[in-house]
């Protein structure tokens, strides 16, 4: 069965610094996708970035980048130049490709607090 | 586009009552999903649908039912509400199985 592990319940970072949020995954499928979502205190889920298992390069979206290390089964999110508005819960999720349906399995999340 | 909309935003139910959580999307997405998020946890899939008339169970389907009569709507029915169903419910949709899921704002349900 697929599993996502986020070992950091909370992280603190100062404004303008970079921060890495950890995510490890477990799957026996060769084809999978990895997602990061942001959940601010208002509660909505906001898609940030996606990495496919066959993608050759690490995904980047603005200040977000995904440090994908396939052999280690890790997909860490790097936020550069943190902003106060980055304070939120961050969830790593994995998609099971082989069932033919896009089912996401989520980790338990990491709460990021950005201080001035 | 309104994206994915959910109603109601908040609801309190008594044990044994029933209700329907509404979800609609205006993006013409084939895939729709219902998740629940318990306090301090990630989301767990309840049911999903790959198109009108086609639904299937996710990880935690017990106590819930769904229907998908149109592409736009994917209501979630709770029969005989129990305190264990106290949670935040999210509806999501995607255009196909390779794309990201877009989430609604959530419904916070409390069963007392």
Q: pLDDT confidence of A105, banded at 50, 70, 90?
A: confident
**Which DSSP category does A93 fall into?**
E
Q: pLDDT tens-digit profile of A35-79? A: 999 999 988 899 999 999 999 899 999 999 999 999 999 999 999
Omega before A30 cis (within 30°)? no
Q: pLDDT tens-digit profile of B38-89? A: 988 889 999 999 999 999 998 899 999 999 999 999 999 999 999 999 999 9
**Two tokens at A8?**
């950091």
| Contacts with B56 from chain A: Cβ below 8 Å | 101
**Two tokens at A110?**
């990491």
Q: pLDDT confidence of B100, banded at 50, 70, 90?
A: confident
- Report the range of poorest mean pLDDT among A7-11, B70-74, B93-97: B93-97
Share of chain A above pLDDT 90, in %: 76
Q: pLDDT tens-digit profile of B24-33? A: 999 999 999 9
The CA-based angle A9-A14-A18, given to 5 degrees, is 80
pLDDT for res A80: 96
Q: Do A101 and B58 touch (CB under 8 A)?
A: no
Omega before A73 cis (within 30°)? no
Residue A99 has pLDDT above 80, yes or no: no
Alpha helices in B62-103 (DSSP H): none
**Higher confidence at residue A28 or residue B93?**
B93
CB nearest B48 (choices: A46, A101, A108):
A101
A36 touching chain B per CB within 8 A: no
DSSP β-ladder status, A110-115 and A10-14:
parallel
Q: Kindly tell me the number of DSSP H helices and DSSP E strands found in chain B.
A: 0, 11
pLDDT for res A103: 73
């Amino acid at each position: 069965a697929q599993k996502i592990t986020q070992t950091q319940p909370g992280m603190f970072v100062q404004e303008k610094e970079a921060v890495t949020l950890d995510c490890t995954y477990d799957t026996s499928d060769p084809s999978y996708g990895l997602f990061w979502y942001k959940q601010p205190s208002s509660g909505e889920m906001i898609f940030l970035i996606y990495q496919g298992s066959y993608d050759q390069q690490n995904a980047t979206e603005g200040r977000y980048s995904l440090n994908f290390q396939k052999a280690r089964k890790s997909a860490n999110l790097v936020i550069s130049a943190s902003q106060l508005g980055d304070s939120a819960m961050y969830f790593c999720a994995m998609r099971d490709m082989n069932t033919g349906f896009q089912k996401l399995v989520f980790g338990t999340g990491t709460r990021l607090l950005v201080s001035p | 586009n309104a994206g994915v909309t959910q109603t109601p935003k908040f609801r309190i139910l008594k044990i044994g009552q029933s209700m329907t959580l509404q979800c609609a999307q205006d993006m013409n997405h084939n895939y729709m999903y219902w998740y629940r998020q318990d306090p301090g946890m990630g989301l767990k899939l309840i049911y999903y649908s790959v198109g009108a008339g086609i639904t299937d169970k996710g990880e935690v389907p017990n106590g819930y039912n769904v229907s998908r009569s149109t592409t736009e709507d994917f209501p979630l029915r709770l029969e005989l509400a129990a305190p264990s169903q106290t949670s935040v419910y999210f509806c999501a949709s995607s255009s196909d199985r390779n794309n990201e899921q877009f989430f609604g704002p959530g419904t916070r349900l409390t069963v007392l």
